[in-house]
């Protein structure tokens, strides 16, 4: 397999924006190559296999002809780094790979193919280089990609003859005459493929044509004789070397079993979580047949029971006290309500049980409710918050959750994409979960439908896997120092969020519907004005049509070139608006802004539940820093600083039976955390002086009294300060402030002159993380960053920014969670009816019961300010009102 050729094709065939890790490492070439690799190994089933790579563009060909491939643009850095990672993937698969100085991959392939054919092998070559057609014979077939990286055409001697009218031996003669623009090998002016093929067929070979060159008549003959030296050079360069000195011969390339653990590590690092992809890759492991089949969940086959009415109390009595039980559910819920249709339990040692909650009798119901609410009876769940939310609809309170395997996996490896139970089971237990049964089935002897039995077995298998995963994660959490973080922070937060999700927040449907219409009218107005500005109608939502109008019809300055033309993203439109007087870029920005607002409001209206409230879902395992996010709907995408965003927030109201909404958040929490971690005296003093922070810092950086700090100075310092907390580079700062990178660098230098402790801390944070492999918050939340030692500059710099960002952002996230838990506990202990509803962008929203506002405000300020003790004390801002916007502070 020609590794370079296929990886390069994949790089351009698959969009980079769809394939990258959370560290920013592009993986499109790796994914495309690995997919083709898996398909080829499956379809061709080779006994011996190897991959060849180019080393550099400096080869014997470039030494003989300096212009060889000189027309090619510089290999993208995003591609180079991926070739190294493909090497790691192949090593884990125990695939032999070759790269020889001075030679190209096709020379290595030609050598191996020649040797293998002589030793009696049948040979297949997978390559996108047509020069390999010269190797085709009765024993050698070239598999050539003809549709992206997904479809291969088999080139046999007959196929080469059909395609070019030539034998494989004649192909390099033909290629020399034709020339190859991709390799910068000049052809003969006026001579195309048909003429080149005709000459080779007429004279039999290139050598014969050269000997009889005077017999070629007409202008074509004159051109041939004029360019004969360059064509003869072409012929030498297109001939593949078949005797490259290699460390191993074909017989040494027999496929070997994967190092499955190493491969899993590589795939995790690349964040290739798609189950189908991993299955395809592991399915062609030569060692797969030698391995013992994955054991089913211990005891399920013999000890699993489908419980009928009245049988649950006895089962819980026998198995629910000896140790933890794994619990799995088949549940459904809609907006603000839901139900659970099946429950399975698994006990240590093997026994498992399944029951239908709808079939519980009074004794069953009482026994289960007592067990699930008993804090002394340990439970192991996967995504406990979802279970708590739906169980509450049945009147069951959940307590005693000792382990949540989704949260545990997140704390062990926060950067991973999937925390699905089936993925974790394969990765940590080495077994796949039983699939859900198909519809229909026969009748079992004891009156249980066959498909119901299969459903029960599958769910009991999940409960077994959850229990076993819980045990596996006990050790993993201890290894990464996260056991206390799970027990004391994440599990309590999970229970609290379940309550908040069930509570939801009242939405004013009429208000939001009016806003939707307002934004729809604004969208249509922008469309009408854009058409008028251009002089004809066009689709504003079509990037292609917009490109034609902006850069073709209007002739506006070209923006950044992409594979699909010139970019028309928001930054590009803003740049065009500044560069030209034409109104279309401004209208396009307004159109997109209003369209986005309309879509946001539409989404909110659709999620209003029958109780008139919106019940968002909070996510604990999405942001690697520990921050919460929300979905269905995403309340974090509502603009906070625009009039339209504030208007949307007015649609969130205090509910019936409550007096007001109260909002609270921390002032400048990231900067306070950065001051605490860096122990910078100047920054600590600025935060505790009582003066405006950004004015105080700006006065020190620019060397002027605070009274002379103008808005532009303040804006730059504010961006600078917060940017450092997010790992912002000088280039990033220059983009944000629309200044040159040099000016941004000077601003950072001046800042660090005044706040040397911050500079030293940021440098120390990266170096310490590089030494130990991870960053850590003040509460022990780790973020592993293996790319800090990567040879790939892009990956390394991305990891360095994360090493700056993770301790500050992660600590801020931990503080907010602690604060919320303290507030919730205080509300309960003081027996208040007020409750927490939302947490969005570090802001907490509460619904205040009549007569409790003053007490709740005092409680919130006290508990939030006392969440942790920092050198720069936490400052809490509070506001209240009848809607979310009027409660702003």
Contact 324, 402 (CB under 8 A): yes
| 529 and 429 assigned to the same domain | no
The predicted pLDDT at position 314 comes to 94
pLDDT at 299 over 60: no
Average pLDDT over residues 809-838: 96
pLDDT at 653 over 90: yes
> Residue 141 is part of a domain; what is its CATH number?
3.40.50.1010
Average pLDDT over residues 710-737: 83
Strands 401-404 and 379-381: parallel
Weakest-pLDDT range from 30-34, 62-66, 475-479, 766-770? 62-66
- Quickly state the pLDDT bin for 563 (edges 50, 70, 90): low
| 133 and 50 assigned to the same domain | yes
Taking the C-alpha atoms of residue 107 and residue 103, their distance in angstroms, rounded to an integer, is 6
Nearest to 846 by CA among 655, 604, 619: 655
pLDDT at 443 over 60: no
Is residue 627, in this structure, part of any structural domain at all?
no
Average pLDDT over residues 820-831: 97
| 248 and 381 assigned to the same domain | no
> Residue 530 is part of a domain; what is its CATH number?
1.20.1060.10
| 449 and 536 assigned to the same domain | no
> Residue 634: exposed, middle, or buried by beta-carbon count in 10 A (0-12, 13-18, 19+)?
middle
- Label each residue of 819-839 as H, E or C: HHHHHHHHHHHCCCCCEEEEE
The predicted pLDDT at position 737 comes to 82
pLDDT at 741 over 50: yes
| 325 and 409 assigned to the same domain | yes
Is residue 280, in this structure, part of any structural domain at all?
no
| 315 and 440 assigned to the same domain | yes
High-pLDDT (> 70) share of the chain, %: 91
- 669-692 residue pLDDT tens: 999 999 999 999 989 998 888 888
| 487 and 517 assigned to the same domain | no
- 575-609 residue pLDDT tens: 899 888 899 999 999 999 998 899 899 989 999 99
Domain tally, the chain: 4
CA distances from residue 793 to 22, 573, 759, 787, 801 in whole angstroms, order as listed: 16, 30, 22, 9, 12
| 573 and 451 assigned to the same domain | no
pLDDT at 647 over 90: yes
The predicted pLDDT at position 213 comes to 78
The more confident residue out of 382 and 741 is: 382
Domain end position, chosen among 447, 482, 504: 504
| 372 and 460 assigned to the same domain | yes
pLDDT at 874 over 70: yes
- 178-197 residue pLDDT tens: 776 666 677 787 676 777 77
Domain end position, chosen among 504, 535, 563: 504
Q: Which residues pair with 91 in a beta bridge?
A: none
| 532 and 573 assigned to the same domain | yes
| 24 and 149 assigned to the same domain | yes
The predicted pLDDT at position 179 comes to 72
Taking the C-alpha atoms of residue 446 and residue 173, their distance in angstroms, rounded to an integer, is 78
Q: Alpha helix (H) ranges present in 52-119?
A: 60-64, 77-92, 105-118
Is residue 654, in this structure, part of any structural domain at all?
no
The predicted pLDDT at position 149 comes to 52
pLDDT at 231 over 70: yes
**Mean pLDDT taken over the chain:** 86
- Rounded to a whole number, what is the distance in angstroms from the first to the last CA of the chain? 63
> Residue 454 is part of a domain; what is its CATH number?
3.30.420.10
Is residue 866, in this structure, part of any structural domain at all?
no
The predicted pLDDT at position 171 comes to 85
| Three-state DSSP class for residue 786 | helix
The predicted pLDDT at position 638 comes to 86
Average pLDDT over residues 262-288: 81
Average pLDDT over residues 79-84: 80
- Quickly state the pLDDT bin for 294 (edges 50, 70, 90): very low
High-pLDDT (> 90) share of the chain, %: 44
The predicted pLDDT at position 441 comes to 38
The predicted pLDDT at position 430 comes to 80
Is residue 126, in this structure, part of any structural domain at all?
yes
Is residue 187, in this structure, part of any structural domain at all?
no
What share of residues in the chain are helix, strand, coil (percent, to 5)?
Answer: 55, 15, 30
Q: Which residue range is the domain that position 549 belongs to?
A: 509-614
> Residue 718 is part of a domain; what is its CATH number?
1.10.150.20
| 490 and 514 assigned to the same domain | no
- 25-35 residue pLDDT tens: 788 889 889 98
- 307-358 residue pLDDT tens: 999 999 999 998 887 789 999 998 655 444 567 889 999 998 888 999 999 8
The predicted pLDDT at position 399 comes to 96
The predicted pLDDT at position 408 comes to 96
Is residue 26, in this structure, part of any structural domain at all?
yes
Interhelix angle for 756-772 vs 669-678, to 10°?
A: 80
Taking the C-alpha atoms of residue 380 and residue 325, their distance in angstroms, rounded to an integer, is 6
Q: How many H helices and E strands in the chain?
A: 36, 24
Residue 803 in tokens: 């090493």
Is residue 119, in this structure, part of any structural domain at all?
yes
Nearest to 733 by CA among 757, 754, 749: 749
Annotate 39-55 with b (16+ C-beta within 10 A) or e (fewer).
bbbeeeebebbbbbbbe
The DSSP 8-state label assigned to residue 651 in this structure reads T
- 43-67 residue pLDDT tens: 888 999 999 998 877 777 777 776 7
Nearest to 676 by CA among 875, 870, 811: 870
């Amino acid at each position: 397999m020609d590794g370079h050729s296929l990886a390069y094709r994949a790089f351009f065939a698959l969009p980079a924006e769809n394939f990258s890790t959370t560290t920013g490492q592009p993986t499109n070439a790796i994914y495309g190559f690995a997919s083709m690799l898996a398909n080829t190994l499956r379809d061709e089933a080779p006994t011996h296999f190897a991959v060849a790579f180019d080393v550099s563009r400096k080869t014997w060909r470039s030494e003989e002809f300096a212009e060889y491939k000189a027309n090619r643009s510089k290999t993208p850095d995003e591609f180079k780094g991926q070739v190294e990672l493909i090497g790691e993937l192949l090593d884990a698969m125990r695939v032999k790979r070759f790269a020889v100085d001075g030679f190209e991959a096709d020379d290595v392939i030609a050598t191996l193919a020649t040797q293998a054919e002589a030793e009696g092998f049948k040979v297949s070559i997978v390559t996108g280089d047509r020069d390999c057609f010269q190797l085709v014979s009765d024993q050698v077939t070239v598999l050539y990609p003809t549709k992206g990286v997904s479809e291969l055409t088999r080139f046999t001697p007959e196929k080469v003859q059909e395609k070019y009218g030539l034998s494989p031996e004649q192909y390099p003669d033909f290629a020399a005459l034709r020339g190859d623009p991709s390799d910068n090998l000049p052809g003969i002016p006026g001579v195309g493929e048909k003429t080149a093929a005709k000459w080779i067929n007429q004279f039999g070979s290139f050598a014969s044509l050269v000997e009889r060159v005077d017999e070629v008549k007409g202008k074509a003959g004159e051109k041939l004789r004029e360019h004969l030296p360059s064509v003869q050079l072409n012929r030498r360069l297109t001939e593949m070397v078949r005797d490259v000195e290699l460390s191993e011969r074909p017989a040494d390339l027999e496929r070997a079993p994967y190092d499955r653990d190493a491969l899993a590590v590589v795939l995790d690092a690349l964040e290739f979580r798609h189950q189908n992809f991993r299955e395809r890759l592991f399915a062609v492991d030569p060692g797969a047949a030698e391995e013992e089949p994955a054991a089913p969940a211990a005891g399920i086959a013999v000890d699993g029971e489908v419980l009928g009415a009245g049988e649950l109390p006895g089962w819980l009595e026998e198995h629910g006290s000896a140790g933890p039980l794994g619990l799995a559910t088949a549940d459904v819920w809609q907006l603000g309500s839901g139900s659970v249709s099946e429950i399975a339990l698994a006990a240590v040692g093997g026994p498992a049980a399944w029951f239908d909650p709808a079939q519980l009798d009074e004794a069953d119901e009482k026994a289960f409710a007592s067990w699930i609410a008993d804090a002394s009876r340990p439970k192991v769940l996967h995504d406990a918050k979802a279970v708590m939310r739906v169980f509450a609809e049945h009147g069951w309170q959940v307590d005693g959750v000792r382990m949540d395997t989704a949260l545990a996996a997140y704390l062990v490896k926060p950067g991973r994409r999937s925390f699905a139970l089936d993925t974790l089971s394969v990765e940590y237990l080495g077994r796949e979960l039983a699939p859900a049964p198909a519809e229909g089935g026969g009748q079992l002897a004891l009156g249980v439908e066959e498909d119901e039995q299969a459903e029960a077995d599958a769910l009991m298998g999940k409960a077994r896997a959850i229990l076993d995963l819980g045990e596996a994660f006990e050790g993993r959490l201890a290894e990464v120092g996260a056991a206390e973080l799970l027990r004391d922070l994440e599990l309590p937060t999970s229970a609290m969020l379940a309550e908040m999700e069930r509570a939801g927040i009242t939405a004013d449907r009429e208000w939001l519907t009016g806003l939707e219409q307002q934004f729809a009218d604004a969208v249509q107005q922008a469309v009408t004005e854009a058409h008028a500005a251009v002089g004809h109608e066009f689709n504003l939502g079509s990037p292609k049509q917009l490109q034609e109008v902006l850069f073709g019809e209007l002739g506006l300055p070209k923006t950044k070139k992409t594979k699909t033309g010139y970019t028309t993203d928001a930054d590009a439109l803003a740049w065009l608006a500044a560069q030209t007087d034409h109104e279309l870029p401004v209208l396009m920005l307004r159109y997109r802004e209003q369209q986005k607002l309309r879509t946001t409001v539409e989404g909110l209206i659709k999620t209003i539940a029958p109780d008139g409230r919106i019940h968002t879902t909070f996510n604990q395992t999405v942001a690697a820093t520990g921050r919460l996010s929300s979905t269905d709907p995403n309340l974090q995408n509502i603009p906070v600083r625009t009039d339209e965003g504030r208007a949307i927030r007015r649609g969130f109201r205090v509910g019936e039976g409550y007096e007001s909404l109260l909002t609270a958040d921390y002032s400048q929490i990231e900067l306070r955390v950065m001051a605490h971690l860096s122990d910078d005296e100047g920054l600590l003093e600025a935060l505790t002086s009582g003066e405006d922070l950004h004015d105080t810092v700006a006065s020190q950086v620019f060397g002027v009294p605070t009274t002379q700090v103008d808005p532009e100075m303040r804006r730059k310092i504010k961006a600078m300060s917060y940017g450092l907390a997010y790992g912002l580079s000088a280039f990033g700062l220059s983009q944000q402030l629309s200044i040159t990178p040099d000016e941004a660098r000077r601003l950072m230098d001046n800042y660090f002159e005044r706040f040397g402790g911050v500079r030293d801390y940021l440098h120390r944070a990266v170096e310490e993380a590089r030494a130990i492999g991870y960053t850590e918050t003040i509460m022990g939340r780790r973020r592993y960053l293996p790319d800090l030692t990567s040879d790939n500059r892009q990956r390394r710099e991305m990891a360095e920014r994360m090493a700056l960002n993770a301790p500050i952002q992660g600590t801020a996230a931990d503080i907010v969670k602690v604060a919320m838990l303290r507030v919730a506990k205080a509300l309960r202990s003081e027996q208040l009816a007020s409750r927490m509803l939302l947490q969005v962008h570090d802001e907490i929203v509460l619904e205040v019961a009549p007569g409790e506002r003053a007490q709740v405000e005092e409680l919130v300020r006290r508990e939030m300010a006392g969440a942790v003790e920092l050198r720069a004390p936490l400052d809490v801002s509070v506001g209240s009102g009848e809607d979310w916007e009027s409660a702003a502070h």
